Amino acid sequence: MIAGKFLLSISLPFPVSFIKEVMDDESFEKKPLLKLSCKKTRDEFKTIPDLTEDYSESSSLHKLIIGNSPEMMDYLVFSQMSLLSLHKLRELDLVPDSVKQEGRLLGQRIMDSYSNFDCSLLRHISRLGSLKCLTRLDMLVDQNLYLEQFMAELPNLLELGLSILTRPGLSKHVYLHEYIPRLEAVVAASKAPVLKVTVEAETRRQVNKVFKNSYVEKLVLTGPCTFDLFPVMERLKEVVVNLETSLLANNCTYWKSRIDDRGLHRAGLCCVNIGAVYENCPNLERFMGIEVAMVSHKQTFNKWNGRIKKRFYDFYLRQGGSKEIKAWAKTRWLSRRPVTFCHDVVLH
């Protein structure tokens, strides 16, 4: 509390305006903080507002994070968090305002700096025993997925948000034995009923990602058609898939899609595979807004597939599709029952 005002949320590193308020007020009383964020903004500010430009250079939170060593970031986080009361912290948002710089996706050096800062922040919150209080966590992660080490300390999450930005051109080994297993492990360890995954960019490989979880009830995916997600979630009730729709004739980039057949997405194949839910998601009610609860899983896959297929074909027609059902199914539907198995991390 500063000057009689309660602070329910704040950003790290502290904005200069907040530091000035602390300096100007004679008393500072720590009150429970509910939300903490680090958006890595690029807005320029004078580090010491009262001095002229000759003595106080302009900077930004983004520059502070990428321009200092991990040791300095640890000290910065430790010193600033000593002013906060986090025993009632509920929300932590570490996704930057933008994942682009000068029109290009963030490079690995910047991602490493962001990850070092975020990891330091999580370690300090963990040290205080406050991770268990979080009900919402939003993170930007890359192929390293350090978040895995903290998942056991997050038993009360209601919503987990993962924004994925991997290094382009990951080797086959790193992709199959590090990135995918770690991503699957983070999802498997989450106890949040809502899981939101936003794929900013990743190496393009035709590999199934099996998200196995016993707590997720709502799954929200925003990403490319080729993400190839296979959910294995016994409590799952709803799947929301957000796909690119602004490219007119080239919206759909699903594997081996014909150039003249990319105007409409392949619902049930793009991003999330509907075939994987058979027997793996028995409580599913809606998939991309399509009601699927009335199609029982207590029948053979072929019979289940035939009934589900009709509902997705009707959806295709409502979207403006014109193919006959046989022609549609040949290029826009499951050719066989998917196989779902998780990947193992290879230890070095």
Q: What is the 3-state secondary structure (H, E, C) of 137-203?
A: EEEEECCCCHHHHHHHHCCCCCEEEEEEECCCCCCHHHHHHHHHHHHHHHHHHCCCCEEEEEEEECC
* Sign of the four-CA dihedral 165, 168, 170, 176: positive
pLDDT of residue 231: 96
Average pLDDT (316-335) is 94
Q: H or E stretch including 239? A: strand 238-242
Average pLDDT, the chain: 88
pLDDT of residue 3: 44
pLDDT of residue 73: 82
- Classify 11 as helix, strand or coil: strand
Q: What is the pLDDT of residues 246-262, one digit of tens each?
A: 766 688 999 999 888 89
Average pLDDT (17-30) is 70
In the predicted structure, residue 14 carries a pLDDT above the cut 90 = no
- Kindly write down the DSSP assignment for every residue of 77-124, as one continuous string: HHHHHTT-B-TT--EEE---S-SEETTEEPPHHHHHHHHHHHHHHHHH
Q: 23 vs 299, which has greater pLDDT?
A: 299
Q: Which of 48-52, 125-129, 136-140 has the highest mean pLDDT?
A: 136-140
Q: What is the pLDDT of residues 72-82, one digit of tens each?
A: 888 888 888 88
In terms of DSSP bridges, do strands 91-93 and 35-37 run parallel, antiparallel, or are they unpaired?
Answer: parallel
CA distance 264 to 332: 10
Q: Which amino acid is at 216?
A: V
pLDDT of residue 2: 44
Cβ-based burial of 107 (10 A; exposed 0-12, middle 13-18, buried ≥19)? exposed
Asked if 321 contacts 251 with a C-beta cutoff of 8 angstroms, the reply is no
Q: 204 vs 346, which has greater pLDDT?
A: 204
Provide, rounded to the nearest whole percent, the portion of the chain with pLDDT above 90. Answer: 64
CA distances from 263 to 137, 216, 319, 327 (A): 35, 32, 10, 16
Provide, rounded to the nearest whole percent, the portion of the chain with pLDDT above 70. Answer: 88
In the predicted structure, residue 286 carries a pLDDT above the cut 90 = yes
- Which of 49-63, 66-80, 272-286 is predicted least confidently? 49-63
CA distance 164 to 155: 22
pLDDT of residue 53: 62
Average pLDDT (42-52) is 64
In the predicted structure, residue 5 carries a pLDDT above the cut 80 = no
Which pTM value belongs to this model?
0.90
Q: What is the pLDDT of residues 199-238, one digit of tens each?
A: 999 999 999 999 999 999 999 999 999 999 999 999 999 9
- Classify 76 as helix, strand or coil: helix
pLDDT level of residue 324 (50, 70, 90 thresholds):
very high
Q: H or E stretch including 23? A: helix 16-24
pLDDT of residue 1: 43
In the predicted structure, residue 52 carries a pLDDT above the cut 70 = no
In the predicted structure, residue 98 carries a pLDDT above the cut 80 = yes
Question: Looking only at Cα atoms, what is the longest distance across the chain?
Answer: 76
In the predicted structure, residue 56 carries a pLDDT above the cut 60 = no
In the predicted structure, residue 99 carries a pLDDT above the cut 80 = yes
In the predicted structure, residue 289 carries a pLDDT above the cut 80 = yes
pLDDT level of residue 46 (50, 70, 90 thresholds):
low
Asked if 154 contacts 131 with a C-beta cutoff of 8 angstroms, the reply is yes
pLDDT of residue 250: 82
How many Cα atoms sit within 13 Å of 102 on the Cβ side? 1
